[in-house]
Amino acid sequence: MAKSAAPSGTRDFLADDLRRRRAAFTTVSDIFERYGFDPLETPAFERLEVLTGKYGEEASQLLFKILRRGVHEASGKPDLALRYDHTVPLARVIGTHGAKLPNPYKRYAIGPVWRADRPQEGRFREFVQCDIDTVGSSSPLADAEVVLALAESLDALGVNRFRFLVNSREALRGLLEVYGVAEENGDGVLATLDKLDKVGAGAVAKELVDERGLDVASAERLAEDVASDDPDLIRSKLATNERGQRGLAQIDSLLELTASLGDRAVFAPRMVRGLDYYTGAIYEVEAEGFPGSIAAGGRYDGLVASLGGPDMPACGGSIGIERILAMQDTGDAPAVGLDVAITVLGGQAELMKLASELRAQGLRVGTYLGSSGKLGKQLQWANAQNARFAVIFGSEEQESGEVTVRDMVSGDQSRVPLAQASAYLRERLER
């Protein structure tokens, strides 16, 4: 059967899984809509030059590139590639449709992206990303809306015990100024500090000296300051640093505007996002039962321009929806069954009419499509379909113009006139 499997790193979604996934996506998109975000769907692939050079060398290796077609196929060269995320397509869309879009443009995207990562446990080559971004606003309200929309989504997805760790790229940069780190050295130093959780303060301090050129005393104190995760300590260090004060104001403003989250949003000086495109408030969400972060985001005012779009302020975040869905896998949601399974022992035309009436009432109805004329076999089928009721229309019933309705849970049976069967079944199902 291996020869017939889905490609490595991809999945077939059968009914139960797919319904659960769709329900989760709808839950999130309904919330994003209430926050005034618009849906956006871009093509599965982009022109190769739109994607090339946007993700760094390592990521570029992970693009699924599409071969040129027709007479050009023999060249062996690609001209398109499957989208790697929703962010580069967003920057491209703003370039393409700028004038038609609302300003600011608040959009969400929930859909598959493709990365040729080495397939491994829980890692896929086709997976759904769930992004929400506001492009064209510098207001701290824009950051707060994103945070609240993410928080409400996590709640609605059943990830209740979470905490937003908030920091600011400007506060971090201010702290580097306090320790005399040169501006052009900042991204590298922050990338090193981002390793605190993995390697500890000692190793970080060593790397700051060896690779980033800090003196030993500064390196050790900087690593300790950040590792302390102590807001008061950081506030006092930044008391006279202008840039740091600006960063603290970003943090305080975001926390004030998301006060409804209570202690589920906190200033966490230790939280350093290594990605160098962030420019203001940043956050990661830690949640009980999930290693690492389950959602993250921040302000990235220069990113849209750097991705080929116009120069506009922007902020946004995303939810690790696949990881949340994977956790839910262990749950045992009941499979969707038939409301009514119609057995077929003759009288097909009458039964199709009954099925139509039941479906018109919104019920999920199946008719027996197998070849057995035995009622027992057909009831086995109804049972396998998780049917709530079965309808039997044997020769006796056909003569008397009735049907037998069987309760597939209790096994009780009742005779009902055919003409009243749909009303009877609806009433039984509404109980």
The response to whether 86 counts as a known ligand-binding position is: yes
Distance CA 40, CA 80 (A): 20
The response to whether 277 counts as a known ligand-binding position is: yes
Contact between 25 and a second copy (CB under 8 A)?
A: no
Kindly tell me which residue out of 289, 334, 362, 411 binds a second copy, with binding defined by CB under 8 A. 362
Interacting span for a second copy (CB under 8 A) from 293-301, 357-365, 407-415, 416-424: 357-365
x/- mask, a second copy, residues 297-326, rule CB under 8 A, reads -----------xx-----------------
Element (H, E) at 69: none
Distance CA 394, CA 170 (A): 78
The response to whether 143 counts as a known ligand-binding position is: no
User: Which residue's structure tokens are 């064209």?
Assistant: 136
Contact between 35 and a second copy (CB under 8 A)?
A: yes
In eight-state DSSP terms, residue 361 is T
- What φ, ψ does residue 311 adopt, rounded to 5°? -85, 100
Contact between 164 and a second copy (CB under 8 A)?
A: no
Element (H, E) at 143: helix 140-156
Contact between 409 and a second copy (CB under 8 A)?
A: no
Interacting span for a second copy (CB under 8 A) from 136-144, 174-182, 198-206, 227-235: 136-144
Q: Which is nearer to a second copy, 39 or 401 (CB)?
A: 39
Instruction: Judge whether 267 and 308 are in contact, CB under 8 Å.
Output: no
Going 188 to 189 to 190 to 194, the CA torsion angle's sign is positive
Q: Which is nearer to a second copy, 92 or 212 (CB)?
A: 92
Instruction: Judge whether 56 and 38 are in contact, CB under 8 Å.
Output: no
Interacting span for a second copy (CB under 8 A) from 1-9, 163-171, 177-185, 231-239: 1-9
162 in helix, strand or coil?
strand
Kindly tell me which residue out of 27, 126, 194, 264 binds a second copy, with binding defined by CB under 8 A. 126
- What φ, ψ does residue 240 adopt, rounded to 5°? -115, 15
Q: What is the four-CA torsion angle of 341, 343, 349, 353, rounded to 10 degrees?
A: -20
Least distance to a second copy, CB of residue 12, Å: 5
Q: Within 36-95, which residues bind a second copy (CB under 8 A)?
A: 36, 38-47, 50, 61-62, 64-67, 69-70, 73, 75-78, 80, 82, 92-93, 95
The response to whether 129 counts as a known ligand-binding position is: yes
236 in helix, strand or coil?
helix
Q: Which is nearer to a second copy, 214 or 304 (CB)?
A: 304
Distance CA 424, CA 429 (A): 9
Contact between 262 and a second copy (CB under 8 A)?
A: no
239 token code pair? 């008391």
Contact between 12 and a second copy (CB under 8 A)?
A: yes
Contact between 427 and a second copy (CB under 8 A)?
A: no
23 token code pair? 């329900």
Contact between 4 and a second copy (CB under 8 A)?
A: yes
Number of neighbouring beta carbons within 10 Å of residue 255: 18
Q: Within 363-402, which residues bind a second copy (CB under 8 A)?
A: 363-371, 384-385
Contact between 142 and a second copy (CB under 8 A)?
A: yes
325 token code pair? 């869905």
Kindly tell me which residue out of 55, 129, 131, 140 binds a second copy, with binding defined by CB under 8 A. 140
227 token code pair? 């590792």
Instruction: Judge whether 143 and 254 are in contact, CB under 8 Å.
Output: yes
The response to whether 300 counts as a known ligand-binding position is: no
x/- mask, a second copy, residues 322-351, rule CB under 8 A, reads --------------x-x-----x---xx--
Instruction: Judge whether 268 and 167 are in contact, CB under 8 Å.
Output: yes
Q: Which is nearer to a second copy, 104 or 320 (CB)?
A: 104
Least distance to a second copy, CB of residue 206, Å: 34
The response to whether 107 counts as a known ligand-binding position is: no
Q: Within 196-255, which residues bind a second copy (CB under 8 A)?
A: none
Selection from 272, 249, 27, 42 nearest residue 150 by Cα: 27
The response to whether 133 counts as a known ligand-binding position is: yes
341 token code pair? 């399974």
Compute CA distances 363 → 353, 424, 426, whole Å. Answer: 14, 13, 8
Kindly tell me which residue out of 24, 85, 110, 114 binds a second copy, with binding defined by CB under 8 A. 114
Distance CA 364, CA 387 (A): 9
Interacting span for a second copy (CB under 8 A) from 137-145, 176-184, 297-305, 409-417: 137-145
Instruction: Judge whether 315 and 363 are in contact, CB under 8 Å.
Output: no
Q: Which is nearer to a second copy, 291 or 362 (CB)?
A: 362
Residues placed in the known binding site: 85-87, 115, 129, 133, 273, 277-278
Residues placed in the known binding site for L-histidine: 85-87, 115, 129, 133, 273, 277-278
